Amino acid sequence: MNMWRGSSLLMAALLLLLVAGAARAVRPGEAAPVIEAPMADGTVLSLSLLRGQVVYVDFWASWCTPCRQALPALDRLFGQYRDQGFSVLAVNVDRERTAALRMLQRLPVRYPVVFDPDGHWPQRYALQGMPSGYLIDRDGQVILVKTGYRAKDLPQLERAIQHALEETR
């Protein structure tokens, strides 16, 4: 009986460690967790398909006011740097896809958008707020984490994108 109790305690401790590890936010210097989610047409897009590019992963929702400001700003950056190997992957977390699609009609973007209504990827990245963005280098390492959006922070993001693009030439 003692052996079973000891095993149960060990299993409980291991489970707690796994849960605690899964809830830790992704930080610069770490490998970006892979994202696989459907786009509006049902095609599944994986972050791994963008390997070799500098990618900004943007978690957003239609109810998030700063997200409405970030989408067009990120689209401008995408348009400016995509020929140099930069991409944006937008991960929408709305429970109802129709709200996100309405927002994208008002604020169209040229970069890929995937949908995660069950919140798998925000949970995996352990988001600290909305919007949340992760700049990922060509090797899949997170190099910058941004929580929230303020227009005055855009030059810092742009410099980080430029630096990442130059690093890999």
Torsion angles phi and psi, residue 147, rounded to 5: -115, 130
The closest of 166, 161, 167 to 77, measured between CA atoms, is 161
**Mean of pLDDT over the chain:** 86
Residue predicted with more confidence, 7 or 85: 85
- Estimate to the nearest angstrom the gap between the alpha carbon of 85 and the chain centroid: 18
Looking at residue 28, what is its pLDDT? 83
pLDDT above 80 for 60: yes
Residue predicted with more confidence, 169 or 154: 154
Which residue type occupies 86?
A: F
Torsion angles phi and psi, residue 82, rounded to 5: -60, -35
pLDDT above 70 for 12: no
Can you point out the beta strands (E) in 4-149?
36-38, 44-46, 54-60, 86-92, 113-115, 132-136, 142-147
Instruction: For residues 157 and 145, give the distance between their C-alpha atoms in angstroms, rounded to a whole number.
Output: 10
- Prediction pTM value: 0.83
Provide, rounded to the nearest whole percent, the portion of the chain with pLDDT above 70: 85
